Structure 1
Amino acid sequence: MTISQLFKGASFAALLGLAALGTTSCSKDFIDLNDPTRLPSSLGYTDSLSIVTGVTAAYSSLQDMYGNGSNRGLFVYAEIPSDNSFAVTSGEALNEFNDFSLSGLNPRLPSQWLVTYRAIARCNIILSRAGAVKLTDATRNRFYGEVRFIRALAYFNAVQIWGDVPLVTSEITSIPDAYQFGRAPKAQVYTQIEQDLAFAEANLPATQTGANLGRATKGATQGLLGKVLLTQKKYGEAATALKKVIDGNAYALQATYASIFLTNNEMNTEILAAARYSRGALGIGSYFSTWFMPILPTALALTVNNNASQGQQFNSVDPDLVAAFATSGASDVRAAASFGSSGTGAAILYYTKKYSDVPTSAYDAENDWIILRYADVLLMYAEAVNEGGTLTPAALDAVNRVIRRSRGLPVATAAPAVDLPATISQTDLRTRLELERRLELNFEGHRWFDLVRTDRALPVMNALFARTGIKPITANNLVFPLPIQEIQTNPILTQNPGYN
């Protein structure tokens, strides 16, 4: 078996022991993932060019983690289990995420696990090898900062999906060594994430431009750190990190909500971080337009996005989210930009519009996956301050800016008709923030993790399940099962309680 074959296998040992890095060149600047060759980890890394190639390969992992041909991506874990979405298609085992009928045999689990640890392995290789390559200290530390940002993101996703996970921070060069890694407590994983992001914050530039647009920045690091701290209920520290993004003035809300998601407006002023894709038969297009659009008759399909006849509707908008938008009122412009519908009456089916595009062919769209944007930062900042116990004018203004934009109003101008009052209680603001995050960030990979973070997953989902006849979930369902293949390969790994 070749190194390349081992790399593509599902086993934990092969994944960590022998990682392959791809060389790149593409229309989307530095993020070209069209692997013309494979560079085994045991070769190369003797000069600056090979390090650049390795860092680019680490960035390519973002496509793997957020969705491509080899892996369905984060929406499987962040949207389908929530009250935002449900899966329609058969044959993908996505329905098991709808009703939490999961076991470790679900085929979506090993692919997400593999691409997560592949990303981590690629980052670890750069961190292990770049020290011996002739680079200026500033350049080396910038590369280190970029891959530590990516590693932190990979671990943050992993710990939210599985809880305790193997914590690997150095290059593994033999398969026996890989078997030494069991599950580390999630508190230990979070400590490593915070350390990675602290280093990245200190060594990354405030902005990226030109060919470097899309690389990690100081603001992206601060925003991700804020989310990591908020998830741990470290409210004061989270508020501090998020306020740095706001005070840095490198980001701003787009004037109109719909413009955030236009393919001709990618990496706009609102985007802190994104997994980048590029259509054009280069092998690096995004799959989301095909995955999420409905299956429609050709005539109707052409009125939707010129490609909907190829739609698979993996991820359908739950009527509960549609109802939440209706309650928000007709003035909420986010509804029209967020979802459309096909069919009528009992046969009506809703679909997300945030990833609409006209691909050159199926699975070859332009849409990036937005990982973190400024509206998210503003809402998290308001949440962190509110949970800290003393609401400030700055925190209230942060959420009011998002609300104003949702009504088509200028974000910087007070709007008494829609602004939340300074006298709002902590409980009422908590409830409103939950709603605003759901409506603002729908189908962007946040809802399920938001519910878990705020201890609202059980009451919210069980209320929905009581209406729809689905069995209630328990605390065991707040994380997902480990892939059974990984447990069979590495016996020191254990399964999460309640799963087999």
Structure 2
Amino acid sequence: MKTILNIKNIQVLAFLLGIAGTMLSCKKSFLDLTPISQIGATNFYKTQSDLLNAVNGAYGALQLNGQYTEEYYFLADYPDDDIESSLSAANNDFDQFERFYSNSANIYIAPAWTDGYKGILRCNNIITQAPNVTMDASLKGRYVAEAKYLRALMYFNLVRIFGDVPLVIAPLTTVSDAYEVGRSPVADVYVQIVKDLTDAEAAVPLSYTGADIGRVTKGAVQTLLGQVYLTQKNYTGAVTELAQVVNSNVYKLLPVYSDVFNPANGNNAEVIFSVGYKKGGIGEGSPFVNAFLPTGGIPTLVTIGTTGNRMNGSKDLYFAFEPGDTRRAISIDTSFIDGTGKLVKTVFTRKYLDTPPTDKDGDNDWFVHRYSDALLMYAEALNETNQTPIAHTYLNLVRNRAGLASKTGLDQAGMRLALEQERRVELCFEGHRWFDLIRTGRAITVMNAYFKKYNILLGGVLVQIAPYQLIQPVPLSQIQANPAKMPQNPGYGQ
């Protein structure tokens, strides 16, 4: 008589062990583009090649739909004042994010949770099993450091989206082990994130050459750690980390803003870390070219594929750009000519335009951190440590590249608002705005003013958000799998 595993057991293991089925490769410059199949918690790495393949698979987890290929930018930008999806009326799940009535059954919430843990599983396996692999100690240390950075990044995204999350830092192989894991407090998750990044910082190089370009560098670790410290309000720590990035002489602002987004210019001097994609029908292309395309954009904006129409810009964002700002032309447009010669008025971004050979098969990378991001975070950290005069220098580097005059004489409060504005227009459509507003404590004030300004209603009532809505509900599937250990976030029904 065969034994059938209880479905709840399967759900718990799938969530905690993150059995992915396949491991996707990611960085176009150094990863073997052939998927590595069926590497799970019971596989053991014996050789340097095994460990390298596993690390490449951990990078590949960033390409999962629940991470940067789709759900990350839904959850990072839909709740803010930059995005107005024309699909909202027809797509209740998007509208839930935009007008703040998310529930645990939203189809985009569960993949963000489960795919995050799939990636964490891959990192945990590497970190745990690497000591048993016989190879050059320094290179092995670097591989482990890369996995720790990736794990920290994935946990950083999870904790910002959901708040308390299970803190799993070693492989779990039994159902009973999985049932013992509940949600850890946000503070505990941040302790692990800082530890992983601190460990990684010493073991990765400043830069790479040749086929290794695109892997985790010291600058990537320091930038993420600086961002984490800003989020924790450890401004002194943020200054220390971000100063090293700024003074490393590894990165620079490209003279022309639009060149940063040229798909043929991946891993350019402004890119600190990105999720890499490669078009060509090999399963490695990025969907952004079609996902960000407005209805009617085929064939004039892009010749092949479908129009996702998922991330249209808001008028408020369009008017946030100052006169003469050279970034606006590629960042946000208000019309285009369709295939019939008709002028279509809609607000959209040109940052992800490309010439894909097939639908959703672009060369556009997703920027996790750019140098301009690091400069503005450094200015923020300086400002919060009472070094506002120095902060002007780094704010103005970004402004001047955009053709704007320098800001002068700002006090601390004025600098905060100037940085909020500058990050909005510099980094729009890159998954920063919502988390920036939360980090600075401005999300409720800014969004409630936005809803009032444009009279945005839900059920005939003005939308106004409450503190509990700064994080998303726990996916229903996770609560059902282990209700004793997986309570719902306050304010949300099950």
Report the TM-score when normalising by structure 1.
Answer: 0.90
- In structure 2, the partner of 1:415 is none
Matched, 1:316 2:312: yes
Matched, 1:468 2:455: yes
Cα distance in 2 for residues equivalent to 1:284 and 1:268: 20
Could you tell which deviates more after superposition, 80-89 or 261-270?
Answer: 80-89
Cα offset for 1:175? 2.3
Q: Flag the 1:479–1:490 CA change in 2: closer, same or farther, 3 A.
A: same
Cα offset for 1:343? 7.0
- In structure 1, the partner of 2:209 is 209
- In structure 2, the partner of 1:427 is 413
- In structure 1, the partner of 2:478 is 486
- Counting only pairs closer than 5 Å after superposition, residues 364-379 of structure 1 correspond to structure 2 as 364-379=361-376
Once the two structures are superposed, residues 217-254 of structure 1 have per-residue CA deviations (whole angstroms, 9 ceiling, x without a partner) of: 00100000000000111111101110010111110111
- In structure 2, the partner of 1:413 is none
Cα distance in 2 for residues equivalent to 1:73 and 1:33: 23
Cα distance in 2 for residues equivalent to 1:55 and 1:353: 33
Give 2:490's aligned amino acid. Answer: P
- In structure 2, the partner of 1:411 is none
Cα contact 2:376–2:419 (8 A) shared by 1 = yes
Cα offset for 1:303? 2.8
Could you tell which deviates more after superposition, 310-319 or 44-53?
Answer: 44-53
Cα offset for 1:92? 6.8
**Which of 75, 82, 85 is residue 83 of structure 2 equivalent to?**
85
Tell me, what secondary structure is at the counterpart of 1:93? helix
Cα contact 2:123–2:148 (8 A) shared by 1 = yes
Matched pairs, number: 474
- Counting only pairs closer than 5 Å after superposition, residues 152-231 of structure 1 correspond to structure 2 as 152-231=152-231
**Which of 388, 401, 404 is residue 385 of structure 2 equivalent to?**
388
Cα offset for 1:169? 0.8
Percent of paired sites with the same residue = 38
Cα contact 2:474–2:488 (8 A) shared by 1 = yes
Matched, 1:397 2:393: yes
Give 2:439's aligned amino acid. Answer: R
Cα offset for 1:135? 1.7
Q: Flag the 1:18–1:441 CA change in 2: closer, same or farther, 3 A.
A: closer
- In structure 2, the partner of 1:414 is none
Cα distance in 2 for residues equivalent to 1:162 and 1:153: 14
Q: Flag the 1:23–1:80 CA change in 2: closer, same or farther, 3 A.
A: closer
- Structure 1: stretches of 5+ with no match in the other structure: 409-417
Cα distance in 2 for residues equivalent to 1:400 and 1:289: 31
- Counting only pairs closer than 5 Å after superposition, residues 292-307 of structure 1 correspond to structure 2 as 292-296=292-296, 301-307=298-304
Q: Flag the 1:235–1:36 CA change in 2: closer, same or farther, 3 A.
A: closer
Cα offset for 1:67? 3.7
Give 2:361's aligned amino acid. Answer: D
Cα distance in 2 for residues equivalent to 1:317 and 1:494: 35
Cα offset for 1:36? 5.6
Q: Flag the 1:181–1:435 CA change in 2: closer, same or farther, 3 A.
A: same
Give 1:399's aligned amino acid. Answer: L
Once the two structures are superposed, residues 7-46 of structure 1 have per-residue CA deviations (whole angstroms, 9 ceiling, x without a partner) of: xx99342232363575677892333454263223312312
Matched, 1:338 2:331: yes
Give 2:274's aligned amino acid. Answer: A
Tell me, what secondary structure is at the counterpart of 1:372? strand
- Structure 2: stretches of 5+ with no match in the other structure: 458-462
Cα offset for 1:341? 2.9
Cα distance in 1 for residues equivalent to 2:361 and 2:465: 37
Q: Flag the 1:92–1:275 CA change in 2: closer, same or farther, 3 A.
A: farther
Tell me, what secondary structure is at the counterpart of 2:247? helix
Cα distance in 2 for residues equivalent to 1:215 and 1:26: 10
Cα offset for 1:453? 0.5
Cα contact 1:32–1:60 (8 A) shared by 2 = no
Tell me, what secondary structure is at the counterpart of 2:354? coil
Cα contact 2:277–2:364 (8 A) shared by 1 = yes
Give 2:427's aligned amino acid. Answer: L
- In structure 1, the partner of 2:120 is 120
Cα offset for 1:360? 0.7
Report the TM-score when normalising by structure 2.
Answer: 0.91
Cα distance in 2 for residues equivalent to 1:62 and 1:23: 11
